Structure 1
Amino acid sequence: MRDAATTTSGAWRIDDHEAVTFRDAAVAWALAAHEVLAETATGYGHFVTVNELAERVQDMSGVKTDAPTRTWMDAILRKVARRCHSAGEPPLTSLCVKQNHKVSDSYKYVLELAALPIPADLELHAAYARWQCYVAHGSADPNDFGIPPLTPKVAATRRGTAVASAFAPVEPKPEATREVLCSQCFIQLPANGVCEYC
């Protein structure tokens, strides 16, 4: 059972239930997150959700928290992004997605670190970043370059949109009305066909 000090700090070691400062916990979680994401990159098309990553880093680091995942995982992903950027590694944080399989807002930090603008299609950008991770960790052949795979839910949504638009009723285009001109003065004739100027 945790004591009052553990509850106050928000994080504790699993083995002895001793309180851990959140700063020390974040360092341990970031190291574990980098390792989990690097392992994930060894399988082509693999990814992990934020909640799965949160559970795995707590188990791997031996440091737990009862704080909601949304309150601390963004900081962990930013630490991993900085480490990857500093080491010249592909952005492993692209392998971490929300439950809907889309990258979280923290993925934009990867672009910020690289001084890149936010692309119109953030999911496609993340797919290319994941592909770089797969290549760097030996699960993809760099000569096999095509369009990197989107996560399943994102791909299904896009296929659904494409299918829906393919079966959407086509609005008939209004027929272009041909202007009838007077053969003498070349002014458009009124509906009765009699030129008012000639």
Structure 2
Amino acid sequence: MSFRDASVAWALAAHEALAETATGYGHFVTIEELAERVQEMSGVRTTAPTRTWMDAILRKVARRCHRAGEPPLTALCVRANHTATDSYKYVLELAALPIPDDLEVHAAYARWQCYATHGTDVPAGIPPLTPKVAARRAGTTAKVRAEAPVVTQSRMQLCEECFIQLPASGVCGFCHPQR
């Protein structure tokens, strides 16, 4: 089977697997776990290292989500250290958005949008970072968190293009900057 044919099968399986992942609040999957899962679901296997082909699959999924107006399911796929992948940066490129200063927080909001879209009950507040990222930041952000205002909204509105929380005006400053 050609790589092109295999990549189509894997991308379909990856979209399905990530959509299923989004049905559980706080769920995510590592690149290695997703690679194994898509090979199992599609019945198409490779001995090539995951790093040589999985980014292409995640980019296909990102394009599909972007074209369909879906939240970026690729935000649910993280590296082994639980950080956002380069494929998540591609989501921003597709939307013609700059890479934010804190990509992990941006990806957390995108995961939140995925959960809400796929029927998960999303609690009010700030979306959680992945466990390993949160653990690394725990020491440095404990003081900041104590000073941060409490969000009392029952549901935050997110920009449908970049998945950043919208201000009270409902107009995204990134996607629709004031002229």
Superposition TM-score tier, normalisation by shorter sequence? 0.7 to 0.9
Asked whether the equivalents of residues 49 and 99 of structure 1 are also in contact (C-alpha less than 8 Å), the reply is: yes
Report 1 or 2 for greater relative contact order, CA contacts < 8 Å, sequence distance ≥ 6. Answer: 2
Matched, 1:146 2:89: no
* Cα drift, residue 25 of structure 1: 0.3
What are structure 2's unaligned runs of at least 5 residues? 145-179
Moved over 4 A (4+): none
Who is 2:148 aligned against?
Answer: none
Who is 1:94 aligned against?
Answer: 75
User: Structure 2: how far apart are the matches of 1:89 and 1:155?
Assistant: 26
Alignment of 1:8-27 (within 5 A): 20-27=1-8
Count, aligned residues: 144
What are structure 1's unaligned runs of at least 5 residues? 1-19, 166-198
Normalising to structure 1: TM-score of the pair?
Answer: 0.70
Who is 1:39 aligned against?
Answer: 20
Aligned-residue CA RMSD in angstroms?
Answer: 1.5
Matched, 1:134 2:115: yes
1:55 paired residue among 32, 36, 39 = 36
Q: Which has the larger radius of gyration?
A: 1
Who is 2:172 aligned against?
Answer: none
Matched, 1:162 2:126: no
* Cα drift, residue 140 of structure 1: 2.5
Normalising to structure 2: TM-score of the pair?
Answer: 0.78
> What do the CA deviations read for 1:51-90 (whole angstroms, capped 9, x no partner)?
0000000000000000000000000000000000000000
